[in-house]
Structure 1
Amino acid sequence: MAMGGRSPLPAWADYGLLPLLNLVVAFLIAGLVVLALGENPLEASGYLVRGAFGSPELLSWTLFYATNFVFTGLAVAIAFHAGLFNIGAEGQAYIGGLGLTLVCLYLGDLPFFVILPLATIAAAAFGAAWGFIPGWLQARRGSHIVITTIMFNFIAASIMTYLLVYVLIRPGSSSPETVTFAENAWMPQLWQLGAAIGLDLPRAPLNLSFFWALVCTLLFSLFLSRTRAGFELRVVGRNDQAAIYAGISPARWQMIAMALSGALASFIALNEVMGSHHRLLLNFTGGYGFVGIAVALMGRNHPIGILLAALLFGALYQGGSELAFDMPAINKDMVVVVQGLVILFAGALEHFFRPSLEALFRRRRAVPA
């Protein structure tokens, strides 16, 4: 930071140029790895892009994955704004899926327009409760939020394994999953909605959760920038001592932020469980909660940045799968390497180029007009 607490980087450079520079370097290093495998990096990039955006069906799959990353990116970001590092989005999404499943299993005879809000509220309530507990431990007992959220991921996984093996398992099945929900409890997919009005849309699991992700992004932005509550939360994240001086309780907002974070993470279940699988099964979260950390970091905790970062990781997930088919020498493990490089430069090395950029902008300001 510059003197007086003001960064010498303009907003467009801080929120746009710096993440873009990190991303370019990550892809350049990934290109070198591809080259070392004896493949053409440019050809691999072409397959990756075409696999993610090359047809309406492929784009639908990309947006389906991106929807999960929007939810987890927002979940991690709201905790960041309160000065907390939530690594527990995976477990919060898992427990949120349990709440949603209980509604879909036992109230599946109700009309869809009744089930949807009930399932959404149940998922949010379960996820919020699972996020609130580490927030309470941090605020009231001084437990480190990183440690508690990591451990709560393992606890959530153990609870879900027990329930799916011994309690909720489909009768007569050896696979740890519930029965398929009644069709009233299925989230409509966009191709089904299109067919109802005469449109021929590609058959992909993209569903109404995508639009809910956009609504959550808008609400996230309005909450932080337009409400007193959002202002108080950001004050706590910037300087808890200043918050106390202003009469704001850091402990209160830490607990609220973690509850909101858990609720946002839980909406993965709307997309995956209610919108795609139509039943609860083990590991439906698929690591989305952990990648959400990189999405939030790359997006600079800004709603637009999170949308763009989520789209990038959705493209990597979908395009990477197609790349593994088109170039056998580059298997799925290589795709994970590419994702890891992006996470590395967007997260751990987020500020690697910041000193050089700040020095450049300082020199530009020092040059007389």
Structure 2
Amino acid sequence: MHGSARALAQLGIVLLAALALLSLLLVATGHAVGPALTALVRGAFGSSYAITSATIVRMIPLGFAGLAVSLAFRAGMLNIGADGQVRMGAAAAAALAVPLASAPAAVGIPLLLTGGAVAGAAWAAVAALLRLRFGVLEVISTIMLNFVAQYLTGWLVRGPLQEPTRVNPQSASLASALQLPVLLEGTRLHVGVLLLLLLAFATWWWLSQTASGFRVRAVGMNEAAARSAGDVAVGRTIAGAFVLSGLLAGLGGAVEYTGITYALYENFSPGYGYTAIAVALLARLHPVGVLGTALLFGALEAGANAMQRDAGVPSVVVSVVEAVLILLIVGADRWSGRLSARAEAAT
């Protein structure tokens, strides 16, 4: 079966499984399936406002984090730290917003986004250094760095970056001139979605059409073979891909801060980096495919809020479905890999 057809088939199977699981959970918790699913679909796609201001808005940070995870995974690095990188990107943007409060949009917005991207890259560079210099597994270091980022953000919004009244644990509101422009009047859809689209296609082009992108893919497929080839600087390639991964996640945090929240909160990220793992895996690590899977998970989250509001179903039910989706995706990949190995052995 062709790769794209197999990916679509896998997506269809996963979606059907998710729908069946959600229905079973609704029955088990004593909720009517029909009204709950209707509320979910209506909340995600029931109106133009739901699509633009709920589903796509939730897709944007998931898309940036999904791109980050997919890029690192393509290089053979398990970046579980996108959540911390998102937080640090938002924190850096919030810190820069103080001295740039009176700056014009043409100057201030690019600086805020650049600062967030650099902060995410620097946060990822810590894990890359620990991996290359001391052999620390990036799975461990990135998870630990997530907690460091979480508590550091909490300290910032209760200390140096807390809003002037010192009442709420958050930063001051972002100046209106530094907020990302809205694409459609009367909605929350901002230009960050255009930046996400541009970066997704640029990442795909870079990985598939450039020599440096080929080296990233080669290291990810077989690090030992790439090292023995002699023309690939494995350590530098791994570090570069991981830093770029953190840059994308940090940029996503800055975009969310300048486009939606306009303030830094202690719980700024509701788990974008963890959901991004499912986003990347379901897209089979394809940068453009991440756009579709991020949209799917954005729709699930938007629908979950509507389901809780209109049908009285706790939104945590959808969180359970998302968690099981990750298990189904990983299981499907392992099963597919075993089938391929058996087919090769038979020939």
TM-score category (smaller protein): over 0.9
- Report the counterpart of residue 36 of structure 2 in structure 1: 44
Which residue of the other structure, out of 88, 92, 97, is the alignment partner of 2:85? 92
Which is further off, 274-283 or 74-83? 274-283
Structure 1 counterpart SS, 2:159: helix
Give deviations 1:114-173, integer Å, cap 9, x for gaps.
112111111111110000110111122111010000001111122222222121111222
1:31–1:355 Cα change, 3 Å = farther
Superposition pairs for residues 206-355 of structure 1, below 5 Å? Answer: 206-246=189-229, 247-328=231-312, 330-347=313-330, 349-351=331-333, 354=336
| d(CA) in 2 for partners of 1:172, 1:46 | 43
| d(CA) in 2 for partners of 1:209, 1:268 | 9
Give deviations 1:33-89, integer Å, cap 9, x for gaps.
222334443443222111101101100110000011110110000000100110100
Q: TM-score when scaled to structure 2?
A: 0.92
Contact 1:51–1:58 (8 Å) recurs in 2? yes
Please report the RMSD computed on the Cα atoms of aligned residues, expressed in angstroms: 2.2
Which residue of the other structure, out of 18, 21, 26, is the alignment partner of 1:29? 21
Contact 1:23–1:345 (8 Å) recurs in 2? no
CA positional deviation for 1:352: 6.1
| d(CA) in 2 for partners of 1:138, 1:356 | 29
Structure 1 counterpart SS, 2:173: coil
CA positional deviation for 1:355: 6.9
CA positional deviation for 1:226: 1.0
| d(CA) in 2 for partners of 1:94, 1:40 | 37
CA positional deviation for 1:358: 5.9
Matched, 1:173 2:166: yes
| d(CA) in 2 for partners of 1:160, 1:358 | 45
1:85–1:65 Cα change, 3 Å = same
1:229–1:360 Cα change, 3 Å = closer
1:278–1:49 Cα change, 3 Å = same
| d(CA) in 1 for partners of 2:202, 2:268 | 26
The one-letter amino acid of 2:20's match is: L
* Total equivalences in the alignment: 343
Contact 1:23–1:346 (8 Å) recurs in 2? no
Give deviations 1:324-368, integer Å, cap 9, x for gaps.
12222x212222222222222123x23365379769999xxx9xx
1:294–1:100 Cα change, 3 Å = same
Matched, 1:124 2:117: yes
Contact 1:177–1:281 (8 Å) recurs in 2? yes
| d(CA) in 2 for partners of 1:12, 1:107 | 46
Contact 1:187–1:270 (8 Å) recurs in 2? no
Matched, 1:147 2:129: no
- Report the counterpart of residue 115 of structure 1 in structure 2: 108
| d(CA) in 1 for partners of 2:319, 2:226 | 41
| d(CA) in 1 for partners of 2:78, 2:34 | 37
1:266–1:17 Cα change, 3 Å = same
The structure having more radius of gyration, on CA atoms, is: 1
CA positional deviation for 1:264: 0.6
| d(CA) in 1 for partners of 2:227, 2:321 | 43
Contact 1:69–1:310 (8 Å) recurs in 2? yes
The one-letter amino acid of 2:29's match is: L
Q: TM-score when scaled to structure 1?
A: 0.87
| d(CA) in 1 for partners of 2:37, 2:341 | 33
| Structure 1 gaps, min length 5 | 1-8, 195-202
| d(CA) in 2 for partners of 1:173, 1:160 | 16
Structure 2 counterpart SS, 1:106: coil
Which residue of the other structure, out of 32, 38, 45, is the alignment partner of 1:53? 45
Which is further off, 295-304 or 244-253? 244-253
1:138–1:305 Cα change, 3 Å = same
- Report the counterpart of residue 101 of structure 1 in structure 2: 94
Structure 1 counterpart SS, 2:80: coil
The one-letter amino acid of 2:333's match is: H
Identical columns (%): 34
Contact 1:272–1:284 (8 Å) recurs in 2? no
Structure 2 counterpart SS, 1:167: coil
| d(CA) in 2 for partners of 1:75, 1:355 | 24
Give deviations 1:206-234, integer Å, cap 9, x for gaps.
21111111011011101101111100111
Which is further off, 56-65 or 26-35? 26-35
